[in-house]
Structure 1
Amino acid sequence: MSRQIILVTGPARSGKSEWAEHLAALSGKSVIYVATAQTNPNDLEWQARIEKHILRRPSDWTTLHVPIKLSATLDAATAADCLLIDSLGTWLANLLEQEDSTWQETLQAVLHSLRQASSDVILVAEEAGWGVVPAYPIGRTFRDRLGMLVRQIGAIADPVYLVTGGYVLNLSQLGTPLTIAQQS
């Protein structure tokens, strides 16, 4: 099975979505943009952010709005497709109220679907753990779950890119991956 799993991660406003879009355009496949954001017509600033992303995408790309059911979307894609999932942090935020056991089931289902995917998959993820520990439990839950999600997808993906300060770094070439035993 010839397919590629790519992870693009980095801080806010670093250009990670633009880099992921560039990679998707280079794939030569039918690009399906998987938008995980939920729209809110009462939040004009959020709507403006979404619109900026929409305007940047080529008109021949298909857009799917998938705020929750990421596994099913991965399972349905074909080898002719390139899924661009933007973003994991937003998807996680949509599921943040899940109990730990339910979250673990959801996470394992997505990881399984990702490993079995026949399409190319480019995933965009935020880096939320570079700052202070959040003062509230829900913030700590988000940060910890996102960190582990990105780490586990990073173990599957090749390449893994870090976009920061206006530069793209290929971590797969520059770094040394941790083994699964070290990730506990």
Structure 2
Amino acid sequence: MLSVVTGPSRSGKSEWAEQLALQSQLAVTYIATAQMNLEDPEWCDRIALHQQRRPADWQTLNIQAELATILTQASDRDCLLVDSLGTWVAAFLEDSEADWSQRSETLLQSLQNCLATVIIVAEETGWGVVPAYPLGRQFRDRLGSLTRAISGQADQVFLAVAGYALDLKLLGVMIPSTRL
């Protein structure tokens, strides 16, 4: 089972993903892709808020490059909650297009072969203005394309907005991908 929870900032994405993990009744491993930065107290407060909400029996892994490996090693008795795809993508913005393509294809393949229940939190960054800088546009484009590809494989896709989760697989129609 693969679920994606996407939406804008402060929409309830992580809380909904946590509810899905609880509902799975499996052993939950929370995969944190964000890195602690002690020089940014506001960022540390955000991470602490996430940590406080998690049940004590959930295992937490702080990862970056190892995401695909963790997915392939998980068993059908596991629930992996990946929070978040955006911070994982941001860690590899310096990858060349060829390296990024390989990295994202490896992740997609590992999700297809994963035996565990997987819940991925993904930020929606393309709802605002076009970023003024090339690196911002690259981040937005890579995250948007990867989220779309993962959602195409997913059993469930939820859009969290204003504290509500909408089931996009139930309510929406998938747009066919057209590659030029």
Q: Normalised by the size of structure 2, how large is the TM-score?
A: 0.97
1:122 matches 2:119: yes
Single out whichever of 63-72 and 86-95 deviates more from structure 2. Answer: 63-72
- 1:83-123 Cα deviation digits (max 9, x unpaired): 00000001001111111100000000000000000000000
Unaligned stretches of 5+ residues in structure 2 = none
Q: Secondary structure at the match of 1:124?
A: strand
Q: Secondary structure at the match of 1:168?
A: strand
Over the residues paired in the alignment, what is the CA RMSD in angstroms?
1.0
| Structure 2: distance between partners of 1:106 and 1:16 | 25
* Count of equivalent residues: 180
1:156 matches 2:153: yes
Question: Equivalent of 2:2, from 5, 8, 12?
Answer: 5
- 1:51-83 Cα deviation digits (max 9, x unpaired): 000000000000011122210110111110000
**Which segments of structure 1 move beyond 3 Å, counting only runs of 4 or more?**
none
- The amino acid that maps onto 1:115 is Q
1:36–1:68 contact (8 Å) kept in structure 2: no
1:73 matches 2:66: no
| Structure 1: distance between partners of 2:21 and 2:121 | 12
| Structure 1: distance between partners of 2:86 and 2:46 | 15
1:144 matches 2:141: yes
- The amino acid that maps onto 1:166 is G
| Identity in percent | 51
- The corresponding residue for 1:90 is 87
| Structure 2: distance between partners of 1:156 and 1:86 | 18
Quote how far apart the aligned CAs of 1:31 are: 0.2
1:38 matches 2:42: no
Residues 19-58 of structure 1 aligned to structure 2 (within 5 Å): 19-58=16-55
Unaligned stretches of 5+ residues in structure 1 = none
- The corresponding residue for 1:106 is 103
- 1:12-62 Cα deviation digits (max 9, x unpaired): 000000000000000010000000001111111111110000000000000
Q: Normalised by the size of structure 1, how large is the TM-score?
A: 0.95
Quote how far apart the aligned CAs of 1:183 are: 5.9
| Structure 1: distance between partners of 2:144 and 2:90 | 13
